[in-house]
Amino acid sequence: MKALEGVKILDFTHVQSGPTCTQLLAWFGADVIKVERPGVGDATRQQLVDVPGADSLYFTMLNHNKRSIELNSKNETGKEVLTRLIETCDVMVENFAPGALDRMGFSWERIQEINPKMILASVKGFGPGKYEDCKVYENVAQCAGGAASTTGFLDGPPLVTGAQIGDSGTGLHLALGIVTALYQAAKTGQGQKVLAPMQDGVINLCRVKLRDQQRLAAGPLKEYSQYGAGIEFGEATPRAGNDSGGGQPGRILKCKGWETDPNAYTYFITQAAVWERVCDVIGEPEWKTKEGYATPPERLDKLDEIFGRIEEWTMTKTKFEVMDICNPLDIPVGPILSTKEIMEDEGLRKTGTIVDVDHPKRGRYVTVGCPIKLSASPVEVTRSPLLGEHTVEILRDVLGYDGENLAKVVESGAVGNVDKKAAE
């Protein structure tokens, strides 16, 4: 039995934030029914297409383990089908623009009338307030949530990160909210609304930067490189380059081959507890006791020199050799892995974090599997659905349409161009 087996999710999401959430729930065993516009579907099906005639990787990699139904919710028969779906499902997930559900005739009040136990989960750009009607995409969320202002180097502009913390990060937050609401509904019999604004999700992931904002009132942030460089702090948490955020000095350093390989680098942390081992590894044993180097506070104004010396050593080793030497000594290091290296990593493939998936129109492709492993609910990643692939199956097996009633729905135009023979 899967962890969420028996839970039905009515998935009105599109692009990335919502589909990230519903894909995770599908991996845990929920029956995710993706509702798509007839003949069009999720916009990402046709975005960044690399194989003509096939759904894009943008779509396939965010919609595994789901079923697809085409449905025109503006059609009267379509509204009837949607009403039945709301009656039948446990959760509705949407990332429409504010007010879209109301305009469709399915306000929260109406949804509660249809199914009092329904959980309505929503992704929005901003929470209630002056920006709540603004359109938000990934990088906008990063900028509004404090990530961009604290990412980059002190003398450069704000930067967004390559990780999709605004979209996919919010989807993960929403999934947790849904599971929590399901647990509560099992006890109370009542549904509720779950809201995950993208700005809020990014702020949550930037928690340590808000920590540092408050610490500024007590003086400079001594673990930041700019302190050791004698650069004055301003009123807000600054950009800190590749400094470690946990109080232990750390930097990205060149490794052997950096001249031709853009990812021949390692992250190296000079953790206080292993300082003596660091000194031995890089060939500076006298630094263990030398005045100005022996204790962490003494080293703060010498970080450029110290990391310069460590880099002289790392440049003689590959990033993997640095790991092999440092890890047995408990010196915290990590190679800068390229996306190609990640996709080919045997360990990640063994755990199911990287998987191959076969698709009838695009062939085999590589995707990211479930990042959370449950010992009693293992995940098998199955391909994303073709547009409307399960329309008849859902109408018949989930909603109970058959015979004449099924034929009427098909003929109404509410569910796209369904093969009438399949509906017989």
Within a domain: 227: no
**pLDDT value for 312:** 98
Q: Are 174 and 299 in a shared domain?
A: no
138 is in an annotated binding site: yes
Does residue 420 surpass a pLDDT of 70?
no
- d(CA 228, CA 190) in angstroms, rounded, equals 56
Q: Are 35 and 133 in a shared domain?
A: yes
- DSSP for 155-184? TS-----SS-TTHHHHHHHHHHHHHHHHHH
**pLDDT value for 422:** 61
Q: Could you give the number of structural domains in the chain?
A: 2
Amino acid letter, 144: A
Instruction: Read off the pLDDT of residues 114-127 as tens digits, 9 standing for 90 and up.
Output: 999 999 999 999 99
Q: Which residues pair with 193 in a beta bridge?
A: 120
**pLDDT value for 284:** 98
Does residue 419 surpass a pLDDT of 80?
no
Q: Are 166 and 98 in a shared domain?
A: yes
Instruction: Read off the pLDDT of residues 212-263 as tens digits, 9 standing for 90 and up.
Output: 999 999 999 998 999 989 999 999 999 999 998 777 899 999 999 999 999 9
126 is in an annotated binding site: no
Within a domain: 223: no
Helix axes 17-27, 167-188, angle to 10 degrees: 50
Q: Are 166 and 108 in a shared domain?
A: yes
- d(CA 7, CA 101) in angstroms, rounded, equals 22
Q: Are 286 and 388 in a shared domain?
A: no
103 is in an annotated binding site: yes
Spot the catalytic one: 31, 90, 167, 200: 167
Within a domain: 228: no
Q: Is the dihedral of CA 171, 179, 117, 202 positive or negative?
A: negative
Within a domain: 403: yes
Q: How confident is the model at residue 369 (pLDDT cuts 50, 70, 90)?
A: very high
95 is in an annotated binding site: yes
- d(CA 42, CA 308) in angstroms, rounded, equals 50
Q: Which residues have a Cβ under 8 Å from the Cβ of 35 and sit 6 or more positions away? A: 10, 11, 12, 69, 71, 73, 82, 85
Q: How confident is the model at residue 178 (pLDDT cuts 50, 70, 90)?
A: very high
Domain containing residue 273: CATH number: 3.30.1540.10
Q: Are 324 and 404 in a shared domain?
A: no
Q: How many CB atoms sit inside 10 A of residue 169's CB?
A: 24
Residue with tokens 């009633």: 405
**Which of 304, 331, 358 is a domain's end point?**
331
Q: How confident is the model at residue 308 (pLDDT cuts 50, 70, 90)?
A: very high
Does residue 356 surpass a pLDDT of 70?
yes
Q: How many CB atoms sit inside 10 A of residue 88's CB?
A: 15
- In order of 253, 287, 291, the CA distances from 296 in angstroms are 20, 12, 11
Q: Are 348 and 413 in a shared domain?
A: yes
Domain containing residue 27: CATH number: 3.40.50.10540
**Which of 277, 298, 331 is a domain's end point?**
331
**pLDDT value for 364:** 97
Strand 354-359 to 333-335 pairing: unpaired
**What pTM was estimated for this model as a whole?**
0.94
Is 55 in the active site? no
- In order of 121, 130, 344, 393, the CA distances from 359 in angstroms are 30, 44, 20, 20
Angle at 399 between CA 191 and CA 404, to 5 degrees: 150
Q: Are 24 and 110 in a shared domain?
A: yes
Q: Are 325 and 380 in a shared domain?
A: no
Q: How many CB atoms sit inside 10 A of residue 154's CB?
A: 14
Within a domain: 237: no
Within a domain: 337: no
Q: Are 390 and 307 in a shared domain?
A: no
Within a domain: 229: no
Q: Are 255 and 401 in a shared domain?
A: no
Range of the domain at 285: 249-331
- d(CA 291, CA 103) in angstroms, rounded, equals 71
Within a domain: 225: no
Give me the torsion for CA of 177, 178, 179, 181, rounded to 10°.
80
**How many percent of the chain have pLDDT more than 90?**
93
**Which of 289, 309, 331 is a domain's end point?**
331
Q: How many CB atoms sit inside 10 A of residue 346's CB?
A: 8
Q: Are 259 and 369 in a shared domain?
A: no
Show the tokens assigned to 186.
């099992």
